[in-house]
Copies of this chain bind each other. A is one copy, B any other.
Amino acid sequence: MTKRIDASTMRQWNKATVLHCIRSQSPISRIQLAEVTGLNKATISSLVDELLTEQYIVEVGFGDSNGGRKPILLEFNANAAFTVGIDVQISHVTTTLCNALEQVVWEHTVDMTVPGTEVKNMLLELLTLEAKRAIAAAPASPHGVLGVGIALPGMVSFENGYVYMLPNLGVTEWDVRTPLQARLQLPVFIDNDANCGAWASYRLHPEYQNLIYVSAGIGVGAGLVMEGKLYRGSRGVAGEFGHTTIVAMGIRCSCGNYGCWERYAAQDSLYRYLLENGVTEFSEGERDFVARVVQEANRGRRECARALTTLGQFLGVGVANIANTLNPDAIFLGGQLIQAESWLLPQLRVAMQIKSVEAVRHTPIHLAKVDSMAVGAAGIALSETLYPIRMGSDTPGTVGSTLRHR
């Protein structure tokens, strides 16, 4: 709980409010800021002065006048600071350098093959190397590179910078943050890849204060943004929709349970549906598996189309469940499977119609940007470090009421 407020806290808050307004509504004049924030124009002048000397903002010229002095226009300084975002997937790692407006200014992808042993060491080396490359690519700026965010495909604790499990990389119980922070001499933030996707989607669409990002690929997971905050749950593992039961007494899942959504709506299910339709030429692990199936379906191959339709229907079951339980403003779809969007989305919309209660039936369903996860990781690092931005919510950062990092 936030405790007392004193004069300096008050000023910090107001300064953050002003900076946030400039960031989201630039170009803007001092007078407009006074109107928007409700602060006195004298106070605005003083706060703006500070922000100018700190180079968080810049004066960019004059606005139009209709019978009076021209207003001086202020803009957020996109190059005030940078953060690095790294998205770790099974086959590759994507690294982005983002500016203070969360725009990608540098990007790099390397293929990766997971070795049988020493995965942690390999990953640590790779993450260090890629982060250092990104940092080196950063242009000179007043505040430099503020931190590194990492999106990981599995269960992790944002709070502790600790990996519980990355099932498809064969990693369990790993403290990534400590060694990485030591090597990079920068704050490091790790989060679940779906959380990063959710955050990126939210930052692009701040009008959706409650949104769910569903990542469908090897597994199915979700990131939850509620009231403008990432909701991570009690132990930081909220969003495990992949292991919710949608077919009681259904197929056995690797988690021990039967009938998990993931067994009906992830990549391996598509493979199964293909087999059930007599299509045997694909192997699940092959390169561009999903894209090839889609291509065949688009060519008119009925069996592939049926498999994709079935997949879409089962994806729809879970998506409708999400809409019913969390009633979000919007649902974003990401992950490898969105390559099949033209086949999946119609099924999703049908499922929403027949499987969700009336009030949530028209929840918008969007496709997420492809590099959401890396950008989201960078965005999380930014939200946690870029003093003193409030990223559109009541309190700074991505965390709710729980203890903050460090």
Contact = CB atoms under 8 A, between A and B. Distances in A.
B248 A393 contact: no
A233 B328 contact: yes
A234 B394 contact: no
A247 B360 CA distance: 20
A355 B234 contact: no
A189 B155 CA distance: 40
Contacts of A13: 4-5
Q: Mostly helix, strand, loop or mixed at chain A's interface?
A: loop
A173 to B, nearest CB: 12
A371 interface: no
Nearest to A10: B5
A158 to B, nearest CB: 12
Interface residues of A, number: 71
Nearest to A233: B327
Nearest to A242: B324
Contacts of A37: 3-4
A234 B155 CA distance: 27
Contact of A17 (B3, B239, B250, B390): B3
Contacts of A232: 327
Interface string A243-259: 11111101000011100
A168 interface: no
B247 A356 contact: no
Contact of A4 (B39, B155, B246): B39
A360 to B, nearest CB: 6
A231 interface: yes
Nearest to A2: B394
B241 A324 contact: yes
Given A248-B317, A359-B164, A238 B325 contact: yes
A357 B5 contact: no
Contacts of A322: 325
A242 to B, nearest CB: 8
Contacts of A334: none
A395 interface: yes
A237 B243 CA distance: 24
A321 B327 CA distance: 16
A210 interface: yes
A177 interface: no
Contacts of A10: 5-7, 10
A243 B359 contact: no
A284 interface: no
B244 A209 contact: no
The 8 lowest CB-CB distance pairs between A and B, nearest first, are A233-B327, A227-B400, A238-B327, A244-B321, A240-B324, A234-B329, A237-B359, A257-B355
